[in-house]
Amino acid sequence: MYTIRCVLGSSAQYLASLPALRHTIKLHYRMSSLPHPLAAVCQVTATPNKEANFSTCKQLVEDASERGAHMVFLPEGFDYIGSSREETLSLSESLSGDTISRYTQLARKLGVWLSLGGFHERGHDWETDQRIYNSHIIINDKGDIVSVYRKSHLFDVELPEKGVSLKESAFTIPGPSIVSPVQTPIGKVGLGICYDLRFPELSLALQKHGAEILTYPSAFTVATGAAHWEVLLRARAIETQCFVLAAAQVGKHHEKRMSYGHALAVDPWGEVLGDCGGEKPGMVLVEMDLEKVNRTRRNMPVQQHRRDVAFYHVLDQT
């Protein structure tokens, strides 16, 4: 398995200051012949400044493209992280708005697929109820939106001893359904978002419908991230025998919020292939060897050993 860890600087200016390094890496990828496609799993520090966020994400996508990535994964809240309910709602857009339009143009220009892992999408009854969806959008290399998954499990959690208090349902509509895994150049990708990670039923349903890769773009709190982030991602990989790619937010977004970071790539055996760390924006590049999925499932055929649905519901009948 070919894995590169690349921890980048905290701004687009830092990236732009490395032209010689970027040129060298670009030449390296042109000269090498990798047997499997590359995925870029990114880590950013979004703020309420949408223009600055786009500039940083655009630079990461361009850098990943130059390094040979076929698909780039951005985290939940890649567009912005607001400092209040009112700001969060006021900055939201529809799928036809300027933000997603800019990303479709970027994907088409660079010829890469994008996973935009948590867009603040205005709800269908926006004029009436002023609520949004937390939407995971997949854009292909032609600039077309090929899938939209709206987060189904909302983070309503009070952990006073940990300093965590968030009520996502106060302004977010739960998504109506899971969506089918998407065929991409790196494999068949099943979509989740952040808190969805805690619900194995979702990952097992996606695996059952053909997912080879699960992705959980996130903005985990520092407290919950330190306790549960890596172990949950590895558990989802082990139980489904899928790759798991988890782009992440990191650091201080504004006075009220910080994120844990540690964007991860995990293989079907549960081995961590790349970790962006907990301090700065960056990315990990991972070669997606789908034969490892097949080999893991063949050698340990967990899904074949699974009993029928009625077996697991027998206790409900007693």
66 as an active site residue: the answer is: no
- What pLDDT does 123 receive? 93
The residue from 42, 57, 76, 242 that is catalytic is 76
DSSP code per residue over 42-103: EEE---S-HHHHHHHHHHHHHHHHHTTEEEEEE-TTSS---SSHHHHHHT-B-TTSHHHHHH
CA–CA distance, 282 with 3 (Å, rounded to integer): 14
Q: Identify the CA nearest to 209 among candidates 183, 235, 185.
A: 183
212 as an active site residue: the answer is: no
The residue from 57, 62, 121, 151 that is catalytic is 151
Q: Identify the CA nearest to 208 among candidates 297, 140, 117.
A: 297
Number of domains making up the chain: 1
CATH number for the domain spanning 11: value is 3.60.110.10
Rg over CA atoms, the chain: 19
> Which stretch of DSSP H or E encloses residue 299?
helix 290-299
CA–CA distance, 213 with 215 (Å, rounded to integer): 7
Range of the domain at 234: 3-317
Q: What is the pLDDT along the chain (318 residues), one digit of tens a residue?
A: 333 444 333 333 333 333 433 433 333 343 345 689 999 999 999 999 999 999 999 999 999 999 999 999 999 999 999 999 999 999 999 999 999 999 999 999 999 999 999 999 999 999 898 999 999 999 999 999 999 999 999 988 778 877 777 788 888 999 999 999 999 999 999 999 999 999 999 999 999 999 999 999 999 999 999 999 999 999 999 999 999 999 999 999 998 899 999 999 999 999 999 999 999 999 999 999 999 999 999 999 999 999 988 899 888 877
The residue from 194, 276, 280, 287 that is catalytic is 194
Helix (H, G, I), strand (E, B) or coil at 18: coil
76 as an active site residue: the answer is: yes
- What pLDDT does 29 receive? 40
- What pLDDT does 33 receive? 55
